[in-house]
Amino acid sequence: MTALQDHAAPTSNAKKSRRPRRGPVPATIARYVALTLMVVVLAGPLVWQLSLSFKGESDDLYARPPQLLPSDPTLQNYSDVLDRVPVLQYVLNSAIVALMAIVGNVVGATLAGYALARLRFRGRRIALGVIVAALLIPVETVLISQFLVVRGLGLTNTLLGVVLPTVIAALNVLLMRNAFASLPDELDQAALVDGANAWQRFFHIAVPQVKGVITVVAIFAFVGSWNDFLWPLIVLSDETNFTLTVGLNRLRGTFTDDPQLIAAGTIIALIPIVVFFAALQRFFFKGLESGGLKG
């Protein structure tokens, strides 16, 4: 009996090996096509800007089909940007604004999120509703009121006036609130049994559990403040206080534009974001996986 089973087993395996392999499932093909299209749409403009920034005067910018690799690569465009505008001063101003935005959002959003998620007080649901409503209001509709407030405080043409409206973003408060709400109630109960007050529970119990989400908040705050253009353009009037996005706008001429020069300026503005995200990438994805974005 055993011999017959041993003889039948290779035969069965041989039949399985002779079965033709199925081709790709149509759903899998469609998935890869969709992913390819997304990569082209999202990364295509960035790749084209990078290519454009290295093209020289002899390159045809309007060739058909587009020429991705420069025939005359050069770094002169980056040198011209540094010569035409004080890039280092603009980078310093943007770094100061970004630093204030990161500190404000990390501290303020973490405190507000913990209060909304773990503390019980009158008006908590109303406060949460106001924060959610703030996400639904377009920024452009409140620019005038924001400017009037900043002007009333005497903060026009200052970097503090630039960062003030976004020093605590509603989205970041909701992220931290959801992160704290996902923690087990048993942690607070055990801390209460040990006699811990609200601040001790916050610093020693809750915050260590949501470090990944705090990193997500820091990245969102940095990218948002670094890329902001409209609000700094409204608030700032002195060129020495310009942020990088506003200062690079001076590369555009009144009647003509230099596409290579603008592309080089765009890449210069993008480098700090890439470096910052690369440094915190591991913590960013860990924060997303930790459940801080769950409702």
**93-114 residue pLDDT tens:** 999 999 999 999 999 999 999 9
Residue 252 pLDDT > 60: yes
CA angle 279, 245, 132 (to 5 degrees): 70
If one counts every other C-beta atom within 10 angstroms of the C-beta of residue 64, the result is 6
Residue of 208, 223, 200 whose CA lies nearest to 281: 223
For the ranges 212-221, 240-249, 273-282, the lowest mean pLDDT is seen at 273-282
Which CA distances in Å does 183 have to 108, 179, 244? 19, 7, 40
Residue 294 pLDDT > 50: no
Position 7 in a domain: no
Residue 233 belongs to what H/E stretch? helix 230-235
> 289 CB contacts (<8 Å, ≥6 apart)?
212
Dihedral over Cα of 286, 288, 290, 292: its sign: positive
pLDDT-derived band of residue 23, with 50, 70 and 90 as boundaries?
A: low
Tens of pLDDT, residue by residue over 214-238, are 999 999 999 999 999 999 999 999 9
Looking at the chain, the whole-number percentage of residues with pLDDT higher than 90 is 31
Residues 242, 143 share a domain:
yes
Range of the domain at 86: 79-289
Residues 48, 133 share a domain:
no
The residue among 58, 74, 90 that closes a domain is 74
Residues 253, 201 share a domain:
yes
Residue 21 pLDDT > 60: no
Residues 180, 52 share a domain:
no
Residues 136, 63 share a domain:
no
Position 209 in a domain: yes
Residue 106 belongs to what H/E stretch? helix 87-118
Position 295 in a domain: no
Residues 195, 120 share a domain:
yes
Residue 253 pLDDT > 80: no
The CATH number of the domain where 185 resides is what?
Answer: 1.10.3720.10
CA angle 88, 157, 221 (to 5 degrees): 65
Question: For 275, how many CA atoms within 13 A lie in the half-sphere containing its CB?
Answer: 7
Q: What is the pLDDT of residue 285?
A: 72
Residue 13 pLDDT > 50: yes
The residue among 30, 46, 74 that closes a domain is 74
- Contacts by 189-197, CB closer than 8 A, 24 or more apart: none
Position 9 in a domain: no
Position 12 in a domain: no
Q: What is the pLDDT of residue 96?
A: 95
The residue among 32, 52, 74 that closes a domain is 74
pLDDT-derived band of residue 31, with 50, 70 and 90 as boundaries?
A: confident
pLDDT-derived band of residue 201, with 50, 70 and 90 as boundaries?
A: confident
3-state secondary structure of 75: coil
Both structure tokens of 150:
């900043």
Dihedral over Cα of 100, 105, 110, 113: its sign: positive
* Number of domains making up the chain: 2
Residues 210, 68 share a domain:
no
Q: What is the pLDDT of residue 196?
A: 82
* Measured distance CA(176)–CA(215) in Å, rounded: 11
Residues 192, 61 share a domain:
no
Give pTM, 2 decimals: 0.80
Residues 139, 203 share a domain:
yes
> 174 CB contacts (<8 Å, ≥6 apart)?
113, 131, 132, 135
Residues 224, 89 share a domain:
yes
How would you label 103-142 residue by residue, b for 16+ Cβ within 10 Å and e otherwise?
ebbbebbbebbbbbbbeeeeeeeeebeebeeeeeeeeeee
User: Tokens 């404000």 sit at which residue?
Assistant: 104
Residues 110, 199 share a domain:
yes
Position 240 in a domain: yes
Residues 135, 60 share a domain:
no
Q: What is the pLDDT of residue 45?
A: 84
Position 15 in a domain: no
Position 13 in a domain: no
Q: What is the pLDDT of residue 100?
A: 96
112 neighbors 260 (Cβ within 8 angstroms): no
Tens of pLDDT, residue by residue over 254-276, are 545 788 888 888 899 989 988 88
